[in-house]
Amino acid sequence: MKKIILTLTAMFIAVNVFAQTEQNEETRMQKEILKTFHSRNMANKPLKKNVPMATAPSTKGNTVKSLPEDRVWFPGEWEEVQAIAVTPLYKYKVPSHESSMYWYADPLVSGYAQYYQYNNFRGWQEAGVGPYIKTIDSTSALGKVFFYLMDGIQLGGAQAWVHIENPEDSAVVIRTLTRMNLRHDNVRFILGAGNSFWYRDCGPIAFYYGDQDSVAMLDFTYYPGRALDDSLPSLIHQQMGIPNYQTKVFWEGGNCLVDGAGMLFTSDAVYSANTLRYGQYVWDGQDINTLSSEPRTSLNRSQTKQAFSELLGQRATYILPAYQYDGGTGHVDLYADAWDENGFVFSVIPDQYNRWADYATGKKNIDSLCSYKSIFDRDYYVMGTLPFPSKDDGSSYSSQTEYNNSYTRTYSNHTFVNNVILQPCFSRVVNGEPSAEWDKANIEEIKKAYPGYTIYCVNVSEFDGTGGAIHCVTKQIPADNPIRILHKNIHDTMTAGLGNSNLPVSAIITNRSGIAHAEVMYRVNDTNEWQTLDLTA
């Protein structure tokens, strides 16, 4: 009898070991797919080999010639929004290999994908082209992140514009939100094929124009190889009715930092991107064998800066040195955040990492940003600094290479949704707070940097090593009929007992319906009661 019991026990252990090994292999392959086919850095993505150059460019011009002359402003990300565009995570599978983790379909154009098969020695290898199966991932840890974002968007009083690839997927999204006990009453769907989920990068840069503050979009060209994601602004134009102005200039939205008053900040990653002579994939819409890369005219450094100055930087355009160890993007949204028109909040690399190349770059870039002049003709302020995330156990990174390859964590990569901030954290969220003590303490510091905001935490550790998080997968759509406020912040201090000393308070406030009344609320020190004064026009 003892032998039988021991034998059964041994069998039970063996089965569990096998199941655990299988699960670990599936997790490893999911991470491999994420960092290969969904890489934010296209240098890590296997592009289809031997794609010929097209004989002629499309009608999408190198520069935009017809932007409205009376465009008013590109709003800061803290300004009012009506919606945020996001997508659920899709699994792209090869027919007859749907259940295999070693086969992957990488969408090329609508209806066709490049097939890849995994080889333990050579990695992912091309394995033909054909139709593919696309289904929503609503169960994995990474897949659930996008549903939490839909919930947080609605919490912020905005509509979640959810991009889906099959008409029936709208029911899947609502059913999943309901099952997860998340908000689902302010969701609108955008239908069309896609490649990935980096909607900050491929989405439009929206702006206001005219005396009615009408909303329009500026559509830059996205990475070659992601033609379907590059069409997202066109889908929004077709299905939501927002005018769309296109340009062949290469740019990703994660490399865009504006102050809402005509100042543009980006990194020098834009220079190398615009030297490319091949553009986006194009085809005749019927025969996949006509797939080709669109020819384009490359831009030198001065032409590139001039293009951005004309398109966005009405007051000035500043191009900063890019980080080298951020997952490969060089995007400013991984360490800098415009808090308002007066200054920035930064993620600062701690002094313990002072041997890292990006440590010196970060310090220099922060100094540069704070030496430029705001619309009020004074230096931008450091409005706050954010802590630097740790590894899962709270320990430090062993090297910059380890951080770059396996983590690329930052608290700056968040998204404003009116009075809510969709905030990355890096441990399991329990009752709205991260569960790791180091993570929880850091979030408390973030709350101090953004007083008045509701912080909606989402565990984004599944994005580790990709060079992106929440800001990278969400895209703001500005509000209709916004109230615009430009306010010279008061950073001076006054000592009590100065008699009739006054502090001047002024603001530029606009709305297409006019402003009937405005007031300022203030208090002296945090412990005193708020006071209200009317502002005079």
Contact 36, 106 (CB under 8 A): no
Read off the pLDDT band of 525 (50, 70, 90): confident
What's the rounded Cα separation, in Å, for the pair 41 and 143? 20
Query: How confident is the model at residue 15, as a pLDDT?
Result: 38
3 state SS of 290: helix
Q: What tens digit of pLDDT does each residue of 208-257 get?
A: 999 899 999 999 999 888 999 999 999 999 999 999 999 989 999 999 99
Rg (CA), the chain: 25
What's the rounded Cα separation, in Å, for the pair 96 and 132? 10
| DSSP class of 510 | E
Query: How confident is the model at residue 290, as a pLDDT?
Result: 93
Q: What tens digit of pLDDT does each residue of 125-146 get?
A: 999 999 999 999 999 999 999 9
What's the rounded Cα separation, in Å, for the pair 330 and 346? 15
Tokens found for residue 262: 């005509």
Query: How confident is the model at residue 18, as a pLDDT?
Result: 37
* Element spanning 91, H or E: strand 90-93
* Element spanning 206, H or E: strand 205-209
Comparing 136 with 17, the larger pLDDT belongs to 136
Is residue 94 pLDDT above 50, yes or no? Answer: yes
Parallel, antiparallel or unpaired: strands 420-425 and 454-459: parallel
Is residue 383 pLDDT above 50, yes or no? Answer: yes
- For the stretch 227-239, what's the b/e string if a residue is b when 16 or more beta carbons lie within 10 angstroms of its beta carbon? bbbbbbbbbbbee
Read off the pLDDT band of 19 (50, 70, 90): very low
Is residue 6 pLDDT above 50, yes or no? Answer: no
Q: What tens digit of pLDDT does each residue of 398-440 get?
A: 999 999 999 999 999 999 999 999 999 999 999 999 999 999 9
Contact 35, 466 (CB under 8 A): yes
Tokens found for residue 168: 């029936």
Read off the pLDDT band of 5 (50, 70, 90): very low
Is residue 20 pLDDT above 60, yes or no? Answer: no
DSSP letter for each residue of 214-248: EEEEEEEE--TT-HHHHTHHHHHHHHH---EEEEE
- Bridge partners (DSSP) listed for residue 419: none
**Whole-number mean pLDDT of the chain?**
90
Query: How confident is the model at residue 59, as a pLDDT?
Result: 58
**Separation of CA 58 from chain center:** 28
What is the mean predicted confidence (pLDDT) over 332-358? 95
What's the rounded Cα separation, in Å, for the pair 27 and 76? 38
Q: What tens digit of pLDDT does each residue of 457-498 get?
A: 999 999 999 999 999 999 999 999 999 999 988 876 655 545
Q: What tens digit of pLDDT does each residue of 270-287 get?
A: 999 999 888 899 999 999
